[in-house]
Amino acid sequence: MKKLSLLFFLVTSIATAQTIRFEGIIQDNTKAPLEMANIMAMNQGTKTMDAYAITNDKGKFVLNLKPNATYTIKLSYLGMQNKEITVTTQTQNITQNITMESGGIELDGVEIVREMPVSIKGDTIVYNADSFKTGTERKLEDVLKKLPGVEVNADGEVEVEGKKVTKLMVEGKDFFDGDTKLGVKNIPADAIDKVQVLRNYNENSILKGVENNQDNVAMNIKLKSGKKNFWFGDVTAAGGFCPESKFDRYNVNPKLFYYSPKYSVNIITNFNNIGELPLTIQDYFKFTGGFRNMMSKGGSSFNVSSNDLGISLLRNNRAKEIETDFGATNFSYNPTKSWTISGFAILSSSITDLETVSTTNFLDPTSTEVASTENRAEIAHQKSNLGLFKLSSSYKPNTNFQFDYDILAKFSKQDENNSLLRETIDEADNSTTEDIFTAKKQDPVSLNQNLSFYYTAAEKHVFAFESQHLYQDENPFYNANLQSDPFTSTLPPSNILGYDTTQNRTDLNQNRFVKTNKLDSKLDYYYMLTPKSNINLTLGNTYSNQNFNSSMYQVLDNGNVNDLDNTTNTNDVTYRFNDAFLGVHYKVLTGKFTFTPGVSFHTYALNNEQLGTSYKQNFTRILPDFLALYQIKKAETLTYNFSFTNNFTDINRQAEGFVLNNYSSLSSGNRTLENAVQQSHSLRYFKYNMFNFENISAAVSYNRTVDAIKTRAFFNNVNQVSSPYNSEFADESMSFFGSYGRSFFKYYKASLNVNLNWGKFNNIQIDRNTFQDVLITNESFTQIYNLRASTNFKNLPNIELGYSYTINDYPNDTFFTDRPTIKLDYFFLKSFSFVSEYEFYHYYNKDKSVENEYDFLSASLIYQKTKDSKWEYKISATNLLNTTSLNDDNFSQFSTRTSQYRVQPRYVMLSLKYNL
């Protein structure tokens, strides 16, 4: 690493040597400084742009120029006449103030904006993509990572100025309803002309002036002229081998795109067995299809949980074996100028093998010592079929009216078979081992519909109606086949499930059926008191009707079925929830401050029908909230948020019959649960300086939950029985995020990120000797530090250095991960691109009783004769060092777990790509 750091220093030193500093202030004819004016230097000798800048809040600019050269300095600013001056450099730095004259925007001003690598127009930042490309970029992701102020994480999420991009568009049309991952991983880099960042974004222009949009960021990709009204994209076919096995690896990846003013079509497919996952199970469950959290202002939280059985999730795309078939299409069509129809269809099928070795330490309720330990070696085989379909319609005949309708359907079929060898060690160091087989199946269906209209009745009167309906049908099936009888002596009386304990193996099965109908509706009225203040009245209602049915049975050694149909093992529950509320908010802009105080009045009605009786709750609540925004400067803000939220659980924790969570865990619900009240405070600071692309963001939040819905658990060695209850002790959590990044000169980019998360949690654990409740309070503290620096040269190798340090401090142990990384990319001989990445992991705990070191190296060499050539040839290799496994850990309030899982071996791939 020392040699690599020295190389980075030498490259940067060479690039920054022999430059002349040209600086000054750009002002208007009253001597007032002009913030965010565009200035660039065109070398008259080479006819190229050598430097550019955007002025800071004091109108200051700095350009680093070549000595002994003559430059045309071009200036542009919205509302000012474009200006050109000539500057000749020698060997001394130059200081000069420049005055611009008021006037209209001339046509050649458009040309100046287009040539500028970065320009600003109102709330929009425009990046000229070609100014940052070095020749090795293949996808949108590669381009975005080189833009100042833009970050892309491993999950394909994009952040600009420290804020997450919530919508991605191409030519103003939603790309798969704004999903950033599919866009950054698939849109070809050579098709991108401009990247537009839309700050303070609201997709509904009618509400833009009355709502707070300061945290909303969207991104629009402008295509090159040759990519419009023509099909473009690429078709890739690759074959390869693992050196330790036969030639059996493949990757077929066609992608086609078409954009015109009237309609657009995107087609993305991928068939491979090398671990590429365009859409993971996590992506599927969190894919909202662009649906908004329309009740977020109401003060109530009623979230429908997913009965997903805990299907094992991948660590990114790393598993022992992954085979994927993926296809997706997205379209947008304008029958008229005022009507847009759009939609998408996504289908994904994958087969995955996971192999994991783990250790789980269960905590003693009277101390932070380990009470028992479970060691597992498990192999899981998964089959997953996922489907997403959406159709949208938006009708906007004029600026005062808009009518929208959306329908999103989600289908899936998932199977997982798992075999494991378990060793359990109790507090007396007695050890037992057994083999266990489990099977999980589920094919849930959900249908989400949204209907909304927005209407400006007069200059001071704005109406908005939104309604959203969710239908969800889930039917998870679980089977556990064990050598032991895990629940025979868990709690008095013994054998609480009532299964036959004389069998050679205990074969338990459970069916669950959960149906949900949930309707959210609200009507907003905005009255503009003044151009800088308004009153917002909200009348809303949330109604949910859920049905939960479950049953268990045992398969005996002879194949007969033993129905475990006593009342403690079955559920037949109907749960209805209704929240009617009235909200009042007042928004006012005064000087640099924006204040939005508000309060909502709620009437709740809950009805739980099970066990032949009905349990009802009816009550009212008043919930305040407050937002304050201090606009320190044009690109510097301080925001404070405060709210009280009533959190309600859904039917899954209301059903009082036992539910088999896994082979060692039973749970029963509690129909008398009350809502938890969460008090939240957050303070966020943000500063963005286009002068040197300095980006500073920091946020601290504190949450305190009273009457939190917690878990009362009993452990018999490692087997658990639990039920929820309302805790009289408050849970607390605090988090901090800080980020600093900036660009240096023209070629360098560096950033530092810090994430701190602390939590204090209260639960009740039953002492297995006295059967008395013991309150346990656990704290966890996670720290993540990331440092990154990179270059962006046109004709030199580019290096990206990174270092990540993670500390997970749990009640009985602390785990550390050191992770230095380096990436090298080089475009050379006008035809070749070389890209290589290396990452090293050092994983260990406090006393180093757990320790592992592993690293990953990948490399690829690409040949494309010219940038306009249709054919591209590539040889690539992944996991060149043939690392076999990775480590991770987690904390669950009752236990800590560390695990090691196998990953795919090294592959060498030969690929051929044809560019349309």
At 894 the pLDDT is 84
282 phi, psi to nearest 5 deg: -60, -45
Tokens 């949980």 belong to residue: 305
Residue 311 is encoded by which pair of tokens?
């299907």
| Alpha helices, DSSP H, located in 38-117 | 107-115
- Find the Cα–Cα–Cα–Cα dihedral 271, 276, 282, 287, rounded to 10°: -60
For the chain, residues with pLDDT lower than 70 are: 1-18, 104-115, 162, 178, 209, 285-286, 288-293, 307-317, 368, 489-494
33: which DSSP letter? Answer: B
Secondary structure of residue 419 in the 3-state scheme: strand
Tokens 């927005």 belong to residue: 454
Q: Among residues 701, 684, 700, 891, which one has the least CA distance to residue 782?
A: 891
Radius of gyration of the chain (CA): 30
Q: Among residues 792, 691, 744, which one has the least CA distance to residue 132?
A: 792
Residue 894 is encoded by which pair of tokens?
């009752």
At 291 the pLDDT is 60
305: which DSSP letter? Answer: P
Q: In which region does residue 154 sit, left (phi positive, over 0), alpha (psi from -120 to 50) or beta (all else)?
A: alpha
> Exposed, middle or buried, 206 (CB in 10 Å: 0-12/13-18/19+)?
buried
Q: Among residues 317, 221, 234, 314, which one has the least CA distance to residue 269?
A: 234
Sequence-distant (≥ 6) Cβ neighbours of residue 22 within 8 angstroms = 41, 51, 62, 63, 64, 65, 73, 87, 89, 93, 94, 96
Q: Which stretches of 399-476 are assigned E, i.e. beta strand?
A: 401-425, 431-442, 445-458, 461-474
Secondary structure of residue 142 in the 3-state scheme: helix
128 phi, psi to nearest 5 deg: -85, 105
Secondary structure of residue 592 in the 3-state scheme: coil
Strands 885-891, 192-199: pairing kind: unpaired
Secondary structure of residue 775 in the 3-state scheme: strand
What element of type H or E holds 182?
helix 180-186
Helix and strand tally (H, E) in the chain?
5, 52
Tokens 């159709």 belong to residue: 391
Q: Check if the beta carbon of residue 629 is closer than 8 Å to that of residue 215.
A: no
Q: Among residues 788, 722, 794, which one has the least CA distance to residue 754?
A: 788
Residues 622-646 as b/e (b if ≥16 CB within 10 A, e otherwise) read ebebebebebeeebebbbebebbbb
Tokens 């009965």 belong to residue: 307
* Cis status of the peptide bond prior to 905, with omega within 30 of 0: no
Query: Rounded distance, CA 766 to CA 754, Å?
Result: 38
Q: What is the DSSP string of 234-294?
A: EEEEEEEE-TTS-S-EEEEEEEEEEE-SSEEEEEEEEEESSS--SS-HHHHHH--TT---T
Q: Which residues pair with 184 in a beta bridge?
A: none
Residue 429 is encoded by which pair of tokens?
């160091």
Distances (CA, A) of 170 to 148, 188, 278: 20, 12, 19
What element of type H or E holds 326?
strand 321-336
Q: Check if the beta carbon of residue 251 is closer than 8 Å to that of residue 274.
A: yes
Sequence-distant (≥ 6) Cβ neighbours of residue 760 within 8 angstroms = 731, 732, 733, 777, 778, 779
Sequence-distant (≥ 6) Cβ neighbours of residue 284 within 8 angstroms = 348, 386, 388, 410, 412
163 phi, psi to nearest 5 deg: -115, 140
At 533 the pLDDT is 93
Query: Rounded distance, CA 688 to CA 57, Å?
Result: 11
Query: Rounded distance, CA 117 to CA 578, Å?
Result: 53
What element of type H or E holds 617?
strand 613-633
